Structure 1
């Protein structure tokens, strides 16, 4: 397929990264690189979407990977996944026998294996410069589900469905496919309902996921919903006001630097030292801008909080707040460095997922969940105009319009970074604003 046509099909379909920040895929694939990495390592415990798609949808995502490799003029395509994904590896090996330039790279079961900077180093041995992206080392990283959406786009099918794992305090934890915009309350019902009356929801995994309401809806970047008791430590930690965290840090932080010792970015050789940011916040250091601007290097993985700090403090939350204040005041890190080598303790300090799960207090919840593609009927959906990095899409429908699933309802702003949005169910436009509501 011609490059321009392929890019146009992906753009029209509204494909963005299926996890994380939702970078528009038509922009990511408009480049030339040496290597494309299909990221199947699945960073977070309890989430199984990519693992299961590699098993059940291997042919489709591998076709998309090969087409993407050609588009990028890449010499090498690598499917990077954890070696424990035995069934997925078996499925993939059967397919890639026909593809000379696609290979499998097996990784250990450590956190955060799916972080794109981590996976680039593991696969290529190259270290992305501080504050950089894989393109800087001639590499593109793309998620497995994103590749499946690329496959759909190349067949002129717009992005209207989302795979997600529902786990935790539900009667029937599973991975399922739902229309974009499905209310999270409906997701809980589809998983057999909650097993406890007082619960909270995390959108994403236990490490990097955010607290959400059951009135929120599934977006293009939703990878999982974790249902936990309201008094679970993971919920309480996310509910504490940031002012309390800062006061506790000022009073308690002993500068042991355990948070820095386990920081994945620091272990990759980047000059991020969470304990120094904590020191700066505690003592009001204003003579060394670098102490604070290094916060921009943080990937917010939470290793410093959960695995590092022996005092129960939250360096990650404080660093996120510092990043917000830097952005608000227009400060940018200007001295990002090229990195020559990883930390000497890089291999030794990888975080074992099994021990992490125990520390998080979620070992009781199931893994190897059922996978379902059963068609889900939803009567009402809510689709935010911004489900991606860049500018919100612009509505192209009016109140009262009738739409069918797949119809374009909002498009990319002219000459701006963004993604199109399509109706995920048949129905009528009931509300326009920052979101579009459709009812059957």
Structure 2
């Protein structure tokens, strides 16, 4: 490697494209035995990663090779579901050219893409409670992130665009490459718009995504946009107040432990027991001297507990509430145990995605969303200065400045965790407010 990969990645503003947006240059400044490309894409309806592994297989393998060399890894692994036949065929056609890189095929279960789950599936190593993959010698990176690393190294391209699956109640479900800062409403129109007059948009997947406003912008971490009727059961679930849920739990929770039996982190041996946390609603106690509310920090909020519950209760929502309350009061996660083994019946308790789609009421939306390349006319973009974990980027431009696509418009300070931001269009800086840079296109 004849170039400084970490510096190039930092300059390009690359962050995790499939999660919370952790700055990738920081992740690459480490040593690991495994580099795992997370191609599981376990969220129902989303298509980006499996499509990129098909049409950009060479780029993904070359990007993985770069990261593997950077961190001194012995193994490079592309972990994807065995049902992604097109991607597997494309990768297998050329993977023999890459020493130390292999494919790991996953079953179609949720949440296969959780980084702690995927590390165990590939390495059989259990990440400790509250830990990260590096604790067991692994680095995990999203498919699109790997593609961005390739572009930064070989093409000197910063992150200015994002692949997004637009689906649900739209006329033409599709996956698009969108300029960062384009409004979600405009993205929906590019998929033909919707016939609904009263609809809600989920930013992300149906399980871990958030309800969003159509005026909100596409960011470096946007993965999917799902348009649903306002009265859809999934929307009712996401908008239910935690206090309402707890009142329901007080009278309806059977304390059956079904939620704990499917909890993916519990099955790894972590001390997270949704059923015991739900006892708080009935008894104001978890009724177990080995467990405290602090154990809620171990919840990854995958929401699977809700769909195992015969009473449609939401332990994950209680966990989220407890975590916020504890953090507000300065209480940190003290659960750091290293499990010795996973649940003996873990392999039989994996939750099938097809079953999950049915329970979510999304069968009719589980359709192809082909990757399309089309010209997008942009009048303006609103680019947030915070699209990543860490401090917001600092503006480098002023109102009235002319910029070109790819120009640096905001930078991460040297002593801060963060990411550079680049213009996604040619245009003029028309405003800078509320941690957003607005660029009017058509310069």
Using structure 2 for the length normalisation, give the TM-score. Answer: 0.96
Partners in 1 of 2:291 and 2:340 — Cα distance?
A: 20
Deviation (angstroms), 1:427: 1.2
Q: Any conservation in 2 of the 1:173–1:366 contact (CA below 8 Å)?
A: no
2:424 matched to which residue of 1? 424
1:391 matched to which residue of 2? 391
Partners in 2 of 1:269 and 1:299 — Cα distance?
A: 14
Partners in 1 of 2:282 and 2:24 — Cα distance?
A: 41
Q: Any conservation in 2 of the 1:180–1:220 contact (CA below 8 Å)?
A: yes
1:294 matched to which residue of 2? 295
1:414 matched to which residue of 2? 414
Which stretch shows the higher mean deviation, 383-392 or 249-258?
249-258
Partners in 1 of 2:286 and 2:33 — Cα distance?
A: 42
Q: Any conservation in 1 of the 2:130–2:335 contact (CA below 8 Å)?
A: no
Q: Any conservation in 2 of the 1:411–1:420 contact (CA below 8 Å)?
A: yes
- Cα deviation, 1:153-212, whole Å, max 9, x if unaligned, reads 112100000001011000000111000011011011000010322110000111111000
Partners in 2 of 1:89 and 1:18 — Cα distance?
A: 21
Q: Please report the RMSD computed on the Cα atoms of aligned residues, expressed in angstroms.
A: 1.4
**What does residue range 18-417 of structure 1 map to in structure 2 within 5 Å?**
18-154=17-153, 155-285=155-285, 290-306=291-307, 308-417=308-417
Cα distance change of structure 1 residues 20 and 282 upon mapping to structure 2, 3 Å threshold: farther
Partners in 1 of 2:182 and 2:146 — Cα distance?
A: 22
Q: Any conservation in 2 of the 1:280–1:291 contact (CA below 8 Å)?
A: no
Q: Any conservation in 1 of the 2:44–2:366 contact (CA below 8 Å)?
A: no
SS of residue in 2 equivalent to 1:370: coil
- Cα deviation, 1:373-429, whole Å, max 9, x if unaligned, reads 223221111111111111111111111211111111111122111100011111111
Partners in 1 of 2:335 and 2:303 — Cα distance?
A: 24
Q: Any conservation in 1 of the 2:278–2:286 contact (CA below 8 Å)?
A: no
Q: Any conservation in 2 of the 1:39–1:143 contact (CA below 8 Å)?
A: yes
Using structure 1 for the length normalisation, give the TM-score. Answer: 0.97
Structure 1 unpaired stretches of 5+: none
Partners in 1 of 2:384 and 2:283 — Cα distance?
A: 41
Which stretch shows the higher mean deviation, 45-54 or 429-438?
429-438
SS of residue in 1 equivalent to 2:278: helix
Structure 2 unpaired stretches of 5+: none
SS of residue in 1 equivalent to 2:320: helix
- Cα deviation, 1:301-346, whole Å, max 9, x if unaligned, reads 010012x111111111111111111110111122410111001121
SS of residue in 2 equivalent to 1:347: helix
How many pairs does the alignment contain?
438
Deviation (angstroms), 1:357: 0.7
Which stretch shows the higher mean deviation, 363-372 or 47-56?
363-372
SS of residue in 2 equivalent to 1:218: coil
Q: Any conservation in 2 of the 1:280–1:292 contact (CA below 8 Å)?
A: no
SS of residue in 1 equivalent to 2:158: coil
